[in-house]
A = this chain, B = another copy of it.
């Protein structure tokens, strides 16, 4: 297709600062964990304009010469103290509504992080407080920018990921029991699972769990001591572990822009 009015500025041969508008680029983190059997997200309360007093996802500008993934990992380590090898990090997507930030044109690259239970970190600059909030308790209307959409995308992606990957273990400590892993699934999906079928599934899937020599820890509310496991080498669950609720034939589709 030739020559719509703006086509000349595509793929300019040489850098011409007048040919493209400058954007700010930020990373925002959807940092998820399971705390006290509740699926929770790390939220900050903003102390600066805009959206002062609103909840927000932690994040910040990408620096010059800094890779997007590196910026996300840097933020993760700075704001939570989580080492990058103690959590699972993947990109969630880019959010670039022209009016998502009233100050200027900003594209946010959101990252999804699965972390084991950790104490809430200290507030960073520009934030009044930092805390873990159960995702069901978050009021989307009280979030800054488009963070309600970002959070919703992250939560849905996390729920889907548990179905076909062994990433639930990223919410657990290094060694964990089958029961602890089941509580992760129950918290994230919000449904009870049959302990016996769950046990059969996860222990019967090759590469999901590797038994750790230690025979038995203690139980907080009694019961027979459970065996300890670590994450196995598998990166996919095959076949998947499906959420027990019968989904209707039609459901929201992740990030589809146009007709499905």
Query: CB-CB contacts of A12-48 with B at 8 A, as 1s and 0s?
Result: 1111000111111100000000000000000000101
The distance in angstroms between the C-alpha atoms of A9 and B111, with both chains bound, is 20
Whether A258 and B88, one on each chain, are in contact in the complex, defined by CB atoms closer than 8 angstroms, is: yes
A67 at the interface (CB under 8 A from B): yes
- The A61-102 residues at the B interface (CB cut-off 8 A) are 61-69, 72-73, 78-81, 84-91, 93-98
Whether A6 and B107, one on each chain, are in contact in the complex, defined by CB atoms closer than 8 angstroms, is: no
Whether B260 and A78, one on each chain, are in contact in the complex, defined by CB atoms closer than 8 angstroms, is: no
Whether A11 and B126, one on each chain, are in contact in the complex, defined by CB atoms closer than 8 angstroms, is: yes
A218 at the interface (CB under 8 A from B): no
A104 at the interface (CB under 8 A from B): yes
Min CB gap A21→B, angstroms: 4
Most chain B CB within a 10 A radius of its CB, from A78, A256, A257: A257
Whether B96 and A93, one on each chain, are in contact in the complex, defined by CB atoms closer than 8 angstroms, is: no
Min CB gap A57→B, angstroms: 11
**Closest chain B residue to A233, Cβ basis:** B250
Whether A67 and B85, one on each chain, are in contact in the complex, defined by CB atoms closer than 8 angstroms, is: no
Whether B61 and A2, one on each chain, are in contact in the complex, defined by CB atoms closer than 8 angstroms, is: no
CB contact between A122 and one of B1, B85, B87, B94 (< 8 Å): that residue: B1
CB neighbours of A105 from chain B (8 A): 64-65
Most chain B CB within a 10 A radius of its CB, from A11, A21, A73: A11
Whether A25 and B67, one on each chain, are in contact in the complex, defined by CB atoms closer than 8 angstroms, is: no
A234 at the interface (CB under 8 A from B): yes
The distance in angstroms between the C-alpha atoms of A183 and B63, with both chains bound, is 47
Whether A19 and B249, one on each chain, are in contact in the complex, defined by CB atoms closer than 8 angstroms, is: no
Whether B253 and A165, one on each chain, are in contact in the complex, defined by CB atoms closer than 8 angstroms, is: yes
Given known contacts A7-B125, A9-B60, is B103 in contact with A15 (CB within 8 Å)?
yes
Q: Which of A133-141, A184-192, A219-227, A235-243 lies at the interface with chain B?
A: A235-243
CB neighbours of A123 from chain B (8 A): 2
**Closest chain B residue to A11, Cβ basis:** B126
- The A162-184 residues at the B interface (CB cut-off 8 A) are 165-167, 169-170
16 sample A-B contacts, Cβ–Cβ < 8 Å, listed by A number: A7-B78, A7-B125, A12-B103, A14-B49, A15-B103, A21-B61, A21-B62, A23-B23, A25-B25, A68-B95, A68-B107, A88-B259, A90-B255, A94-B94, A170-B260, A206-B249
Q: Which 4 residue pairs are nearest across A and B when measured between Cβ atoms? A: A22-B22, A10-B60, A68-B96, A207-B249
